Structure 1
Amino acid sequence: MKKKSFFIFLALIVSMSMVAQQNIDKVVLKSVMKRVVDWQIANPEKIKKHGELDWTNAALYVGMLDWAELTEKEDNDTSYYKWLIRIGEKNGWQMAKRMYHADDIAVGQCFADLYGKYKKERMIVPLLARTEWVVNHPSNGSFLLDYRDGSTLERWTWCDALFMAPPVYIKLYRLTGNRKYLQFMDEEYRATYNFLYDKEESLFYRDYRYFKQREANGQKVFWGRGNGWVLGGLAEMLKDLPKEADNYAFYKDLFVTLATRLAGLQGKDGYWHASLLDPDSYPSPETSATGFIVYALTYGINEGLLDRKQFLPVVMRGWQAMFDAVEPDGKLGYVQPIGADPRKVTRDMTEVYGVGAFLMAGCEIYKLITQ
């Protein structure tokens, strides 16, 4: 049986390779995504290790939600929604512990969307309680912190935070109509943008510790997944931010600028590498950065924000690269471990946020080829 499955997978690889540059077969696409997501569910060690309310799993849940929506619509399969609901119920729909920390509210993205679908008040009450307190008692903490002490991270002082927290506040604005969520998000986001965004390079530093650091080739240190977090977060934000909102143009323009810059930094192998400006020092594939970037670029094409002719070849090369990192059993490889900077990556490395990014990208590509 295993031998048969292996040859089926090889056939899928051949089929995908033949169509990747022009068209992607939706049956092949769904088969690969299902293989990846089912492997992750059947191998929950990482999920349990991090804790179900951790930011790592929050990123997984974002991708899982996209997959759940797709499979319910296409196959009348609600099992993946049920999987997510079980996690929420098991944890009382709570956030993680730290009151201000962006990572500890990231699961609110999933819970807010589940509330939007099922309208069960218990799914959102803890999230509303957390954000109500934070908005009414905003931190004036410093952006110059000791990153060894996570309890001090009260502001969005590292670029990953721009994926974790801002979409939550926009979702709450969409669900409640209360502008205080949008105002709080905008003020905090712009503070981080002004602090971490390098206008010369059109890229985000991970945090202030990298302002003066340089790579082996003398270039500035810009982390692949870090900028992938930002671009993926912008796509999530634009999904829910009304186009008539006063700040929509700022986030749209930032999305287009960052997307254009990152598209030009794709490696010849289709991946975005751990170091964006010194890929030769980190030549191995990296699927989490690639996944978030491919997701966002595809979203941009689908929404008419990015030129299809210019960006579609970039998306196709990126998706093919990620596809090649999937093992026959569905394990996604080449995911850089948890960190804050470029590091070496090997094929055997996997992580839940990499799977989340893979599903986000795959589901957005599915829209691209079926709309």
Structure 2
Amino acid sequence: MKTIDCIENRNSWVTRLSIVFVLLLTAHVNNAQTTSQLSGKLTRPAVYQAMEKVADWQLNTPLQHNLTDWTNGALYKGMVEWAKIADSSKYYNWLYQVGEKTNWQLGQRKYLADDHAVGMMYLEMYRKYHEKKMLEPTLKSLDWIMKHPSHASIKNFSYKKGNNCTDRWSWCDALFMGPTVWATMANVNGKKKYLKFMTKEYKATADYLFDTNEDLFYRDDRYFDMREANDKKIFWGRGNGWVFAGLAIIMTELPENYKERPYFEDIFKKMATKLATLQDSSGYWHASLLDPQSYPAPETSATAFYVYGMAWGIANGLLNKETYLPVVQKGWNALIQAVHLDGKLGWVQPIGADPKHVTSDMTEVYGVGGFLLAGSEIYKMLQ
């Protein structure tokens, strides 16, 4: 029996060693998937090359969501910023074809911020081509909302039928999807009424969801009393990424002398200060900002949005270059390491509302949008 036990023991160890070998090999393959052809250096040629590779992969990959969905809205915003830099017109052509397929319409739900995000791309295309068909549907929708504002409460968030809290910006993601379009519209047509509406609604959301002790946003009020495994508050990585990137877009559109501009700048700088302390040693941020041990995998959609916002802050004089450029450098290098050989961006958390586990093979269009926003802003910053 002892001999049999020894043989079984030995076989067990062989099996275990085999498993370890397979795991190591898998890790090696995953690492090999990330491209060695791209450089994480902050030089214009290197940044351009990385954006081109990721953008081309996306153009060759069929979209899985409705063309007016918020997921694609985030992608389009990144793609249009890249199109402004790219030597080829194919990116503008691709965006134009999207607009033609949607008839330049927002999503069907009149109040829902998620269905407004696509408007950012439409307005940028209008700026380039000056075709009224690109502007008028979004203008009509925003004007209708102003004439028929929702009086729904932003409290007691729920997706249940009959709860109309999402008719207003009652969740932090909405601060990327909605107010960015309102601020851009105000800049495009020169009418401040859109800024007045946007600021009022933004303040209502921020006053409710912004934790002044942590300088971070709760995803919605369901998370006020929830805690992570380490007993820390739950602050979702991409959720705060939506807010931080949204602030950069909003402030790009605000007039320098807009009386409420300091309000947005204050939140932006507070978030930047906090976020810089939460970047890990490899340059990534994680799905849960205050409990990375429970979610140790990289999360590139959050990382991309933070890199974008901080690069924008440096370029526009809101963030100290000596303090934040190393953060941007580490973050961009980390993003480059997540790009597969074919240009696919990995480590993107799937659609959700809170921290989730991520793998290197996971990707999504909003992650690509964030990557292109980050690269485009770094490219401009390097001027």
- Cα 1:10–1:162 change in 2 (3 A) is closer
1:28 aligns with 2:39: no
Question: Is residue 2:80 matched to residue 1:65?
Answer: yes
Distance 1:36 1:365 in 2: 15
- Which residue of structure 1 lines up, in the alignment, with residue 92 of structure 2? 81
The match for 1:4 is none
Shift of 1:26: 2.2
Q: 2:366 & 2:226 partners in 1: Cα distance? A: 27
Query: How far 1:151 sits from its partner (Å)?
Result: 7.3
1:147 is displaced (CA, Å) by: 2.1
- Please list, as runs of the form range in 1=range in 2, the aligned pairs for 1:257-268 lying within 5 A after superposition: 257-268=270-281
Structure 2: 5+ residue runs without aligned partners?
Answer: 1-31
Partner SS, residue 207 of structure 2: helix
Q: Give the letter for the 1:43 counterpart.
A: T
Residue 138 of structure 1 and its aligned partner are, at CA, apart by 0.7
Q: Does the CA contact (< 8 Å) of 2:223 and 2:234 recur in 1?
A: yes
Shift of 1:150: 9.2
Aligned-partner residue type, residue 92 of structure 1:
N
Match in the other structure for 2:260: 247
Q: Which amino acid aligns with 1:281?
A: S
Correspondence for 2:218? 205
Equivalent of 1:140, from 134, 151, 157?
A: 151
Distance (whole Å) between structure 2 residues aligned to residue 182 and residue 111 of structure 1: 18
Report what 2:3 is aligned to: none
| Alpha-carbon distance in structure 2 between the residues aligned to 1:253 and 1:197 | 12
> What pairs with 1:101-250 in structure 2 (closer than 5 Å)?
101-143=112-154, 144-149=156-161, 152=164, 153-250=166-263
Residue identity opposite 1:156 in structure 2: W
Give the whole-Å Cα distance in 1 for the aligned partners of 2:191 and 2:260. Answer: 15
Q: Which runs of 5+ in 1 are unaligned?
A: 1-6
How far apart, in 1, do the equivalents of 2:107 and 2:142 lie? 12
> Which amino acid in the other structure matches residue 53 of structure 1?
T
Is the contact made by 1:96 and 1:104 (CA closer than 8 Å) also made in structure 2?
yes
Do 2:349 and 2:356's aligned partners in 1 also have CA atoms closer than 8 Å?
yes
In 1, Cα distance between the equivalents of 2:43 and 2:144? 47
Matched residue type, 2:131: K
Point out the more displaced range, 112-121 or 315-324.
112-121
Equivalent residue, structure 2, for 1:336: 349
- The amino acid that maps onto 1:41 is L
Corresponding position of 1:53: 68
Q: Sequence identity, in percent?
A: 51
**Displacement after TM superposition at 1:145 (Å):** 3.2
- The 3-state SS of whatever aligns with 1:328 is coil
Secondary structure of the residue aligned to 1:50 is coil
Query: Residues of 2 paired with 1:35 and 1:297: CA distance?
Result: 23
| Corresponding residue to 1:346 among 347, 356, 359 | 359
The structure with the largest alpha-carbon Rg is: 2
TM-score, length-scaled by structure 2: 0.89
* 1:1-38 per-position Cα deviation (integer Å, ceiling 9, x unaligned): xxxxxx9x85534xx25xx3xxx232222122111111
Structure-1-length-normalised TM-score = 0.92
Matched residues in 1 for 2:134 and 2:97: separation?
Answer: 11
User: In the superposition, relative to structure 1, how do residues 162 and 59 fare at CA in structure 2: closer, same or farther (>3 Å)?
Assistant: same
Label 1:324 to 1:174 Cα distance change in 2 as closer, same or farther (>3 A).
same
1:290·1:322 contact (CA, 8 Å) conserved in 2?
yes
Q: Give me the whole-angstrom Cα distance separating, in 1, the residues matched to 2:324 and 2:158.
A: 39
Q: Structure 2 CA distance, aligned partners of 1:263 and 1:177?
A: 35
Q: Tell me which amino acid in the other structure corresponds to 2:338.
A: A
Deviation at 1:79, TM superposition (A): 1.4
Q: Deviations along 1:236-287, whole A, 9 cap, x unmatched?
A: 0011100101111111111111111111111112111000000100000000
Tell me, yes or no, if structure 1 residue 41 matches structure 2 residue 59. Answer: yes
The alignment yields a C-alpha RMSD, in angstroms, of 1.4
Partners of 1:10 and 1:350 in 2: CA distance: 16
Contact 1:235–1:296 (8 Å) recurs in 2:
yes
Q: Name the stretch that deviates more: 150-159 or 260-269.
A: 150-159
Aligned equivalents of 2:189, 2:162: Cα separation in 1: 31
Conservation of the 8 A alpha-carbon contact between 1:141 and 1:154? yes
**Pair 1:95-2:106 in alignment:** yes
2:150 counterpart letter in structure 1? S
User: Quick one: distance in 1 between partners of 2:159 and 2:225?
Assistant: 17
> 1-side partners of 2:79 and 2:323: how far apart?
29
